[in-house]
Structure 1
Amino acid sequence: MINSVTETAMPASPCNRICCLNHSDVCLGCGRTLQEIKDWHNADSTQKLQILQNSQQRLAAKPQFDLRHPEVTPSE
């Protein structure tokens, strides 16, 4: 019997290996909350798309920092 269920592509994790949580437990690298990071593995495609949308909104709303050297202030 042929399986008529087609697999839909699961969204890729937005993790970019800059894993550092702020005071609100939001990752500065990908914009996901700690709970969203923990839920990612078991989330279905729809849930992952919602997490991606939420994380992109968070990243767009936060000030951009140089995470490589956050303690260094550029000199003029």
Structure 2
Amino acid sequence: MNTPERPVASPCVNICALDEADICTGCQRTVEEITRWGRMSNDERRVVLGVCHERAKASGLVWMIPSKS
């Protein structure tokens, strides 16, 4: 029997402030991504998390990325 997959957790870090591009400075999601999160599938959420990570890297917010060992 397959156990249902748990929902992918929100990247919210309770630092809710939008920058000039309407991207949250805490989680790096757009307003649309934030409002749609509860209705997204896990696959959609994983895509958004990847985009958020890329936004964080581009803005210099990610300074250390763990190596894949």
- Runs of 4+, deviation exceeding 3 Å: none
**Which deviates the most, 20-29 or 55-64?**
55-64
Q: Deviations over 1:3-62 (max 9, x none)?
A: x56311221000000011011110000000111001101001000001111111101111
- Greater Rg, structure 1 or structure 2? 1
- Measure the CA separation in 1 of the matches of 2:2 and 2:31: 33
Aligned residue pairs total 61
- Measure the CA separation in 1 of the matches of 2:48 and 2:6: 16
Return the letter of the residue paired with 1:20. A
Relative contact order, higher structure (CA 8 A, sep 6+)? 1
- Measure the CA separation in 1 of the matches of 2:28 and 2:53: 6
- The aligned counterpart of 1:19 is 16
Unaligned runs of 5+ in 2: 62-69
- Measure the CA separation in 2 of the matches of 1:50 and 1:56: 10
Unaligned runs of 5+ in 1: 65-76
Identity of aligned residues (%): 33
| Aligned partner (choices 38, 57, 61) of residue 60 of structure 1 | 57
